[in-house]
Structure 1
Amino acid sequence: MERNYKLRMLLYCALFAAITGVLAQITIPLPLIPITGQTLAVGLTATILGSRYGAVSMIVYAAIGAVGVPVFSSASAGFHVLVGPTGGFIIGFIVTAYFTGLILEKTKFTISMAMIANLVGMVITLALGGIQYKFVADVSWGAAMSVAVTPFILGGIVKAYLASLIGIKVRERLVQARLLEGNTISQNKIIA
């Protein structure tokens, strides 16, 4: 039973990595860094799967993109994307998924708590993306903020709300269908 659950959760991780890759292709072009559906996918993943499995899903996403599968925004791929100016966002997805899920596990899986957790996640993603952009692009902090952080705040808030609303509803349905455990502490022990 535990083995089947672990296998199911790993399949969910792969599924959410794929969903992230698909949503990454939905873009609103901006001059240097486009607005994409990736962060919505990260919020959904963490809200539904929790901290560890959410982070595993984002590790899978980053790894398959790094080895050449075109899952990053604008169907880009390769390790150079991870170490490039926008790579901090992708690395940030892993940290974001973990902490967003952890906040929910330590409190409760409700829409209001998910909104708080997803807003914290948005800050983490933007901070790590902005920091890497600043150093790789060799620009000032002000320039990094104006290019890699500020344009994404409003969209991030909207995506945090959508991830919270949709994520909690999907999670509730999966728990009701016994396809996901409601007690995330026990599921964390399975992967540890």
Structure 2
Amino acid sequence: MKTSLKEWILAAEFAAIIAVLSQFTIPLGLIPLTGQTLAVGLTATLLGKRTGTYAILIYLLLGLVGLPVFAGMTSGFGVLFGTTGGYLIGFIFNGLVTGAILEKTAFTYSWAIIANTIGAMVTLFFGTVWLKISADLSWQSAFSSGFVFFILPGIIKAVAAGYLGIFIQKRIPSLRLRK
């Protein structure tokens, strides 16, 4: 399936939105609380699986080539291989899962919130596994500091992303990429 110019433009615009929301950061030790996860969920909800994932990949590539788009105006491979790298990789799978659930079910408030909550848990899973490896933590420490601690903020952001995504999509029909 060929990607249209409209899809690429939307992906680029949403990569920029993710970059901007990533700068809303609350430092909390090894892993900060950021606006990235809200932006990733919103992107997948509005753009769907394919274009949403393209936006996330563009965002990650911008950071890897040195543009300061990651949380705290950081960039580079050091961030990807640092303690938060698993969350960044998890964003890709978050976009895929969230978008796939919505495309298989319906773009409604309920399904968007469910899909975003599952997608947020996918991000936390990848982040926790990488945190365990990169910080040489026990599974219990990695799970409590990288997953459990972020469940409530993750659910709050998932609900916000799901609600806002459907709200915006109903008001801006040109964002709809589905047939």
TM-score when normalising by structure 2: 0.95
Deviation of 1:179 after TM superposition, in Å, equals: 4.6
Once the two structures are superposed, residues 133-156 of structure 1 have per-residue CA deviations (whole angstroms, 9 ceiling, x without a partner) of 101111100110122112211111
Name the structure 2 match of 1:97: 95
Q: Does 1:62 align with 2:60?
A: yes
The percent identity for this pair of structures is 49
- Which residue does the alignment assign to 2:51? 53
Per-residue CA deviation, residues 46-85 of structure 1 (Å, 9 max, x unaligned), is: 0000001111110001110011000000001001111221
- CA drift of 1:173 comes to 2.4
Q: Which residue of 2 aligns with 1:142?
A: 140
SS at match of 1:73: coil
Q: How many residues align?
A: 179
Q: In the alignment, what sits opposite 1:122?
A: 120
Q: Which residue matches 1:152?
A: 150
Partner of 2:176: 180
Match of 1:109 among 107, 110, 131: 107
Q: Distance in 2 between matches of 1:27 and 1:179?
A: 28
Residue aligning to 2:8: 10
Give 2:77's aligned residue.
Answer: 79
Rounded to whole Å, the distance in 1 between the matches of 2:110 and 2:175 is 23
Q: RMSD in angstroms over aligned alpha carbons?
A: 1.5
Deviation digits for residues 148-187 of structure 1, max 9, x if unmatched? 1122111111100110111011122232xx453343xxxx
Question: Which one has the largest radius of gyration?
Answer: 1
Structure 1: runs of 5+ lacking an equivalent? 184-192
Match of 2:100, SS state, is helix
Q: What SS does the aligned partner of 2:72 have?
A: helix
Aligned residue in 2 for 1:190: none
Q: 1:29: how far off?
A: 1.6
Q: 1:181 and 1:80 mapped to 2: Cα distance? A: 35
Provide structure 2 residue ranges, at least 5 long, that are not aligned to the other structure.
none
Rounded Cα–Cα distance in structure 2 between residues aligned with 1:103 and 1:9: 19
